Structure 1
C-alpha cells in the first residue's frame, strides 16, 4: 500500500475531502492532487503535514527472517 493509498483511506474514514486536506495543510488543492496522483513526490515536510491533518502515525519496523542472520551494512 502506497502512502497515497493510506491518505485516501484515512480521508475517506474521516470524511475529509482533498480540498480540505490541502487547506488544513497549507497547500493548494492542485498540489495535493499532484501528490496523490504521483505527479509530485511526497517529501518529509508534506508527509508530516498530511499526517498531522489526518492524524496518521507512521511506524517503521524491521524484521529478519532468520534471527541468526547478520545484517550487512
Structure 2
C-alpha cells in the first residue's frame, strides 16, 4: 500500500476530506488532491506536515517474505 492510499484510507475513516487536510496543513486543496492522486510526489516536508496534522506517525518495519513483490518494492 502506498502512502497516498494509507492517507486516503485514514481520511475516509476519520470522515475527513482532502480539502480538510489542505486546511490542516496549509497547502492548497489542489496540491493535496494532486499528491493523493499521484500527479505530484510526496516529499519529506509534506509527509511531516500531514502526519503532524493528522496525529500520525511513520514506522519502518521489515516486511514478511510473502509481502515482498516481484521487484522487491516496499509496501507502505
TM-score (normalizing by structure 2): 0.77
SS in 2 for 1:60: coil
Deviation of 1:54 (Å): 1.6
Shift of 1:17: 0.9
Shift in Å at residue 28 of structure 1? 0.2
For 2:5, the equivalent position in structure 1 comes to: 5
Aligned-partner Cα distance in 1 for 2:24–2:54: 10
TM-superposed deviation, 1:62: 3.5
Mark the structure with the bigger radius of gyration: 1
CA RMSD of aligned residues (A): 1.6
Q: 1:43 aligned to 2:43?
A: yes
Q: 1:47 offset after TM fit, Å? A: 0.4
What number of residue pairs does the alignment pair up?
Answer: 65
- After TM superposition, the score normalised by the length of structure 1 is 0.80
> How far apart are 1:56 and its partner, in Å?
1.5
Runs of 4+ deviating beyond 6 Å: none
